Each structure stands twice: as C-alpha cells, then as structure tokens.
Amino acid sequence: MTKTILITGASTGIGEATARAASVAGWRVVLLARSKDKLDALAQEIGDTALALPCDVTDRAALRAAIEEGVSHFGELNAVFANAGRGINKPGVENGDPDEWREMIDLNVMSVLYTAHESIPHLKPTKGHFIVTGSKAGRDYFKGSVYSASKWFVHGFAENLAEEMRDWGGRCTVIAPGMVDTPLFDEPKPTKLQPSDIASAVMFALDQPETSAVREIYLMPND
Ligand SMILES: NC(=O)c1ccc[n+]([C@@H]2O[C@H](COP(=O)([O-])OP(=O)(O)OC[C@H]3O[C@@H](n4cnc5c(N)ncnc54)[C@H](OP(=O)(O)O)[C@@H]3O)[C@@H](O)[C@H]2O)c1
C-alpha cells in the first residue's frame, strides 16, 4: 500500500530533494514550508501524490491544522521528516543577538517538538517513523555556536523520542550531515554533500525491515 510522508522545510534544499526522492520511491508527500509559490510548483511537478500546505511551522496551531489536513487528504501518516531549520547571522555568544537566538530556537527546537507532539497520534496507528535533521554541529563543538547547541538538543531529543516510540513499535532517526550545498549558504558548494545525498540517507532509514531501527545517520562531504 502507498505510504505517506510529511516533510517540513520542503520548499528548498534537503527537504525538497527528499520530497522528490520519496515520490520517486512511491510515497505520497505532504509538503510544508512558508513559500507557497515554491511548494505549489513542486507539488504540481510531482502530481496527485503531493499536497502543498504552506505554513509557518513555529505556529503550533497552523502546524497542527496542516498535519490534520495532510492526514485527512491521504488517509493516514506513515512518516514525518522534521527538517525545517535555519542558521544564525551574528556568530558567537558575546557578540550574538539574543533576538536572533530566540527566532532560531523557535524553529530548530520548538518546531521540532511541536511537529513530534502533533504528529505522533497519527503515527501511532501506522507504527510510523519520525525523522529529524540534526547536524555534524549536533555531535561536535564549534566556538561560540548557538546553532550547534540547538542541534545538540535535536540529537538528544531524537534518542529520547526513539525510546518513547519504541513502546509502540515506532522508530525515530536523526540525520546528521556535515556541510550540504543548499540555499542555507549564499555561495554554491559543488564539492560538498548534495541535497540528494541526504535524501538517500532518509530513504535508507525508511526502507529498513521492522526489526531494524536506524537511530542516526552521520554523513560528511568527501572533499
Ligand atoms: N546545509 C547544511 O550544510 C546543513 C548541514 C546540517 C544540517 N542542516 C539542516 O538541514 C535542514 C534543512 O536545511 P537546508 O540546508 O536544506 O536549508 P534550506 O534550503 O534553507 O531549507 C530550509 C527549509 O526550512 C524552511 N523553513 C524555514 N523557516 C520555516 C518556518 N518558520 N516554517 C516552515 N518552514 C520553514 C524553508 O522554507 P521557507 O523559507 O519557504 O519557509 C526551507 O524549505 C535544517 O534543519 C538545517 O539546520 C543543514
């Protein structure tokens, strides 16, 4: 039977590439991000097996409404990829901008929590899979990096959630890439990981037999 995956941050980069890869692999895809034009174009390209639901995932009510609409449209939810995230413009702690930290934590931390909280009731009946984008920066130390600290939260949370989901046969995977060539950076990075490389890792985690829970996939560029 055709399965359904909901992807946050699906308008560009890793999320967009994963939407394409999942769709090629036969999944139905529910696409969330703020950019309606980009989501609509991607959904139109994929066809009837895609649903674009523009929303700000830091807005819990809007996120809940989008998840419910996705489930009612396709009938069930088998996987969620909590991938929306951002970096920071003013590096460091002493010279950082606390208002910018708040906005980043709302997205990198709170929206991941909201996405899990709102989607788990729908994943439980399908023994579904929750996948979240961590980072090399969530496994390592970077001078003064509040972004890195937000990804350490993601890694800790993913393991804790994996243990909770295990109670009912669900699985949770954290994907931990090094630098990926996405619009997160102003300049192209052709020798770094490509968004399709991360999409392959997500599909690998999703493709495992029921007896295997892939808890973490750590990928680095090979340049
Ligand atoms: N690129 C790297 O080197 C790298 C390495 C490790 C981990 N990561 C992580 O990978 C994830 C994806 O990033 P990316 O590299 O693919 O960058 P990206 O192309 O900038 O993608 C970020 C996505 O998040 C969406 N987004 C941002 N704020 C949002 C909000 N408030 N509500 C809903 N969607 C929102 C963006 O869409 P809209 O602007 O349309 O909302 C976009 O689809 C992030 O969690 C990032 O931290 C990236």
Question: Which pLDDT tens digit goes with each residue over 80-126?
Answer: 999 999 999 999 999 999 999 999 999 999 999 999 999 999 999 99
Count of Cβ atoms closer than 10 Å to residue 92 Cβ: 12
**Ligand 1 lining (C-beta closer than 6 Å):** 8-15, 33-35, 56-58, 83-86, 107, 133, 135, 177, 179-180, 182-184
* Residues above pLDDT 70, as percent of the chain: 100
pLDDT for position 213: 98
Distance between Cα 108 and ligand 1 center (Å): 9
Q: Say how many residues make up the chain.
A: 223
The catalytic position among 114, 141, 147, 218 is 147
Rounded CA gap, 82 and 123, in Å? 13
Q: How confident is the model at residue 147 (pLDDT cuts 50, 70, 90)?
A: very high
Does residue 141 have an active-site annotation?
no
Q: What is the pLDDT of residues 103-115, one digit of tens each?
A: 999 999 999 999 9
pLDDT for position 99: 98
**Coil, helix or strand at residue 88:** coil
- Say yes or no to pLDDT of 1 above 90: no
Specify the residue with its C-alpha closest to ligand 1, atom 30: 56
pLDDT for position 58: 98
Closest CA to 215 of 140, 128, 132: 132
Rounded CA gap, 45 and 35, in Å? 16
* CA 4, 130, 122, 43 torsion-angle sign: negative
pLDDT for position 97: 98
Distance between Cα 11 and ligand 1 center (Å): 9
Evaluate if pTM is beyond 0.95.
yes
* Residues above pLDDT 90, as percent of the chain: 99
Task: From the CA of 195, give the closest atom in ligand 1.
Answer: 16
Fold of 4-219: Rossmann fold (3.40.50)
Closest CA to 7 of 79, 81, 108: 81
29, 40, 86, 114: residue to mutate for ligand 1 pocket, most atoms within 8 A of CB: 86
- Say yes or no to pLDDT of 162 above 80: yes
